[in-house]
Each structure stands twice: as structure tokens, then as C-alpha cells.
């Protein structure tokens, strides 16, 4: 009796690939429960390799202090707020910024610009008093030193920009 070798058909290969893609997307979304709750799935995801390490004195309290400083500077003004900012996660290691104004924070460039305007505020945190290089460090570096791991900026409708800090 002659054995015939069965090769997967093109249809089987396509089905396997589609199943793998679907499972991967579900895993990514399951890992980030904030997707579809606070913001849509990110359109742009970047990884930033910070120039400094996490400060040994950083903790949940110091990260919440930074969020409070940013809130005081940008949100607690006489004119209406344009966005909300908060920290999430068990140790408050994720920052989420969501626009509450139509047409605001709807591009990667606007998101990056907003983040850089927050750098001077973060530099005033007690965590950076002894840091000599604070002037040359950007916002991402400062957040990494503080122990943050991810920043997400969204227009609250269709656009989200996410940066993982490594």
C-alpha cells in the first residue's frame, strides 16, 4: 500500500494565519484593559530607550505626585481643561492622557508636543532635586527615572499614541 503525503492546502494555511493573528490581537487587548475603555487601540506604538535608569527613591507616591503636579499646572486653570491625566496600574506606572475637547490631541505630533510641554513641570518634582543632568533629559527620560513604564495619549475618539519606556 502506497502512502500519500498530505500537504496543507492554501486555504488551511490562510485559516491558520488568520487564527494566529486574531489570537495575538486578543492577547494584546487583554493585556491592556484600558483599550476601549479609556481610549481606542493605539494607532501608533513606540518604544523609547531611556538614557537613565529608574531612581531607587521612585515609588507609587512619587509617581502620583508627578501626576498631581501636571494636573495643577495644566488642568487647574481658570480656562476650561482640554484633557485629563491619570496614572493607572497597581503601582501607578502607566500614564493616560485623554482629550476632552473635540479635535485636540488627534495627531502624533500634537501628542508629542503636549508631552514635551510637561517636562518642565516634572523637573520640579522632589525626585529630581539632586539630578544634575535634568536639563538635557526629555519628558520620556524623566518619566522613566520616576518609574513609569507606559504613556498613552488619546483624542478620546479615534486616535491613540502609546510609548513604552525601556
Query: Are residues 59 and 75 in contact, defined by beta-carbon separation less than 8 angstroms?
Result: no
Select from 158, 32, 152, 155 the least CA-distant residue to 87.
152
Domain assignment present for 91: yes
Domain assignment present for 94: yes
The per-residue pLDDT for 21 is: 66
Tallying the residues shown for the chain, one arrives at 166
> What stretches in the chain show pLDDT beneath 50?
25-30
For the chain, what is the domain count? Answer: 1
pTM of the model: 0.77
Domain assignment present for 65: yes
Domain assignment present for 20: no
Radius of gyration for the alpha carbons in the chain, expressed in angstroms and rounded:
21
Domain assignment present for 76: yes
Domain assignment present for 9: no
Domain assignment present for 25: no
**By residue range, what is the domain housing residue 158?**
40-165
Domain assignment present for 133: yes
The per-residue pLDDT for 45 is: 94
The per-residue pLDDT for 147 is: 95
**For residue 71, what are the CA distances in angstroms to 26, 78, 81, 122, 131?**
33, 13, 10, 11, 23
Q: Which residue is listed with cell 508627578?
A: 66
Q: Is the dihedral of CA 53, 59, 62, 65 positive or negative?
A: positive
Q: Which residue is listed with cell 493573528?
A: 21
Select from 131, 155, 160 the least CA-distant residue to 53.
131
Amino acid at each position: 500500500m502506497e502512502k500519500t503525503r498530505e500537504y496543507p492546502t492554501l486555504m488551511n494555511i490562510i485559516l491558520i494565519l488568520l487564527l494566529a493573528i486574531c489570537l495575538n490581537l486578543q492577547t494584546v487587548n487583554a493585556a491592556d484593559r484600558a483599550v476601549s475603555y479609556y481610549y481606542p487601540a493605539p494607532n501608533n506604538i513606540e518604544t523609547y530607550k531611556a538614557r537613565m535608569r529608574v531612581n531607587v527613591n521612585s515609588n507609587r507616591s512619587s509617581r502620583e505626585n508627578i501626576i498631581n503636579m501636571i494636573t495643577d499646572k495644566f488642568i487647574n486653570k481658570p480656562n476650561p481643561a482640554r484633557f485629563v491625566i491619570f496614572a493607572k496600574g497597581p503601582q501607578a506606572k502607566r500614564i493616560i492622557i485623554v482629550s476632552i475637547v473635540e479635535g485636540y490631541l488627534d495627531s502624533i505630533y500634537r501628542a508629542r508636543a503636549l508631552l514635551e510641554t510637561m517636562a518642565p513641570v516634572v523637573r520640579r518634582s522632589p525626585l529630581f532635586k539632586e539630578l544634575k543632568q535634568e536639563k538635557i533629559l526629555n519628558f520620556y527620560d524623566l518619566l522613566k527615572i520616576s518609574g513609569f513604564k507606559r504613556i498613552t495619549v488619546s483624542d478620546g475618539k479615534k486616535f491613540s499614541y502609546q510609548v513604552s519606556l525601556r
